[in-house]
Amino acid sequence: MTESSLPESAIPSVPPRILLGPGPSMANPRVLQAMMQPMIGYLDPDFVLIMQEVSDLLKRVFKTEDAATFALSGTGTAGMQAGISSLLEPGDTVIMCVYGFFCERMVDMAERVGANVVPLRADWGQPFPPKMLQEALEKHGDVKLVTAIHAETSTGINQPLTKLSKLAKKHDALFMVDAVTSLGGNPMEFDEWGIDYCYSATQKCLGTPPGLSPVALSPKALQSIKDRKTKPASWYLDLALNANYWGFDRVYHHTAPVSMILALREGLRVVLEEGLDDRYARHEKNAQALRAGLAALNLDLVAPDGYRLPQITPVWVPHGVDDATVRTVLLREHSIEIGGGLGAFAGKAWRIGLMGDSSRPEYVLAVLSALEGILPRVGFEVAIGAAVAAASEALAED
């Protein structure tokens, strides 16, 4: 086929979007620029220095001194799969705190590796009660691993981790945490909270395109992998092999996604230049403005007060309103993407994301203004201007 005979694309270029869904978020312009740097070999000594810088920057964001920090070549789901397949052997007992869609995904993965899975299912849209974990740990002996999700993206729950971690430690179990949606947007204290393995993703609060899963692995967890009786089922996602690849030995493992690692390095620089505390405060302030505007529209939030994530706000779809219709009009007429509900919340909730570079006052006002115009068209009357006014007032507060 010659160049002149190539079929015309239905979409000649990627349309501009304001990404206010559960991810990906808007990529920082500096990050996109970093991806345009010349290609370099993954064995080049200068690229090895870049990998080391990424590892050091991740230590600062995860708040750890002793953990091995590196980035798996894959999305956040790869980080989840790597933890499950590397830390668990067939027959190992794992207790899983389940309170949302992505918690259930962990259960599925653990069952596939042949672990003895104990799922503790709590109510979706509520924080997980530590008492459930305490009772399960007392009932089941020799628990290898306890898992939890810091920011459950499907429900908007900001799960407190310290009590869960202390219970795991009391019973000599490893503690694995999903920080896909929280890293860079919520306080993360890997060492202080006693986490053994934590994984995240680049496309949420780190302002980088999807493609890498930053992780932190404690010395205890790494030793546990080395002491396994059987090798992890996944060679590619073997955390010990990947740690060696990123460690001082630099044992070859796979061809690193060079441009994505350059992007992550710049994204982490942006995060730390802003300052972690200031970044957390920005996410919270914009989320408060969004909540104020949604309240003015008489829309009810899913997560209870005190446990709401600043970077993802699920809201119940009003009775009689079609979930998909509103999201489609937002996308086609306003170029704004928000997410629908997952699992038990499918068709029942919208998820509005304010993550990383998507957490901006102008985006808060844009989505609220758009909803003010769309909701009356689908039979849900609102006071025009009320949401924008409420959000503006919240943003003006010191």
DSSP state letter for 183? B
Tens digits of residue pLDDT in 328-348: 999 999 999 999 999 999 999
Query: What is the model's pLDDT at position 58?
Result: 98
Tens digits of residue pLDDT in 136-186: 999 998 999 999 999 999 999 999 999 999 999 999 999 999 999 999 999
Query: What is the model's pLDDT at position 250?
Result: 81
Query: What is the model's pLDDT at position 3?
Result: 53
Query: What is the model's pLDDT at position 13?
Result: 86
DSSP state letter for 318? P
Query: What is the model's pLDDT at position 398?
Result: 76
Instruction: Note whether 35-272 and 275-396 share their fold.
Output: no
Query: What is the model's pLDDT at position 217?
Result: 98
- Which CATH number does 275-396 carry? 3.90.1150.10
DSSP codes of every residue in 83-121: HHHHH--TT-EEEEEE-SHHHHHHHHHHHHTT-EEEEEE
Q: Name the CATH code of domain 35-272 (choices 3.40.190.290, 1.10.443.10, 3.40.1110.10, 3.40.640.10).
A: 3.40.640.10
Tokens of 363: 């985006």
What is this structure's pTM? 0.95
DSSP state letter for 27? P
Query: What is the model's pLDDT at position 101?
Result: 94
Q: Which residues of the chain have pLDDT under 50?
A: 1
Give the residue extent of every domain in the chain. Answer: 35-272, 275-396
281, 53 Cβ separation under 8 angstroms = no
Dist CA 90 CA 88 (whole Å) = 7
Dist CA 355 CA 310 (whole Å) = 8
179, 150 Cβ separation under 8 angstroms = yes
